[in-house]
Amino acid sequence: MPDEQPGRSFRYFYLWRWLPGAGKRSSPVFAELFRAPADNWWGYVTNGGSEGNLYGLYLARELHPKGMVYYSEATHYSVQKNLHLLNMSNIVIRTQDNGEIDYEDLEHTIRMNRHMPVIIMANIGTTMTEARDDVAKIKAILKKLAIQHYYIHADAALSGTYSALIEPRPAFDFEDGADSIAISGHKFFGSPMPCGVVVAKKSNRDRIARSVAYIGSVDTTITGSRNGHSPLFLWHTIKRLGIAGLKSRAIHSLATAAYTEQKLKALGIAAWRNANAITVNFPTPSASICKKWQLAAEQGNSHIICMPNVTQMHIDLLITDLKAEMVLQD
């Protein structure tokens, strides 16, 4: 958002990293994390990941009014609502067993409709299994099919922030082929209120910009007036932790997830997780365990999301409850 007036910065997206001893604003954090084009990025703080996804789809529709949207069956429920609101044609693609999009089905389906512009809704961490769709693989499919007109939006609500801080780095950002990325601020960042961030190419944003005289600015967002506290909470987290602190959070969460998976397997429970994911999947336990630990359930499966506030002590307490229940069942 380099074109906005500095005095309006927190109304939009200017969340800057404050370099120690620098005494001035430095580089834009999210644009750097997502490797956005140096002179072609813009973004703002949203009310949540769903609004970020709506914004990405809105930009895609304005660029490709006759485009077909492709998304996997593991995509968040809000995307279908967004597509209905925007009146966009869409096709659901199969998923693999781990929740990742089925690339063969995607390629076959696009080939059947290759006369239409392609709009991809890629999941960077699905709701139940935290599966990541590989944006680089999707981009390769589009190149293979000689698709000239396309748009890729990455729904990175949970995994986006920390995926940029781990190795090997998942293929999900602008350099991998994304045209816009949305994350949630109340998940990994831990904002006390729902919020999010969307980053897009400025050249695409300019397609929808409209000057509004009485506010002395351009209208480029989904919602006009927004919560002014959300950007401050995000800025505070960035200022307090820095990139090194966020990376430490990611490493902690991954270690807790590995510990959780190991402890569940030691009990004879078929636990598993996707590569470099903080979500551990396992068969849904009893209703009483689910109620006590607020475990989500879908088609006989539940998960534990090892956010930065989750510790091995929490996991041990859950394991104790599961053990006690197993003894009663015996």
The 10s digit of each residue's pLDDT in 250-292 is 999 999 999 999 999 999 999 999 999 999 999 999 999 999 9
Model pTM score: 0.89
**23 band by pLDDT with thresholds 50, 70 and 90:** very low
The per-residue pLDDT for 27 is: 52
The 10s digit of each residue's pLDDT in 139-175 is 999 999 999 999 999 999 989 989 999 999 999 999 9
The 10s digit of each residue's pLDDT in 184-197 is 999 998 899 999 99
Strand partners, 124: 132
CATH 3.40.640.10 fits 6-240, yes or no: yes
Instruction: Kindly report the number of other CB atoms within 10 A of residue 2's CB atom.
Output: 12
CATH 3.40.309.10 fits 243-329, yes or no: no
Q: Give me the residue spans of the domains in the chain.
A: 6-240, 243-329
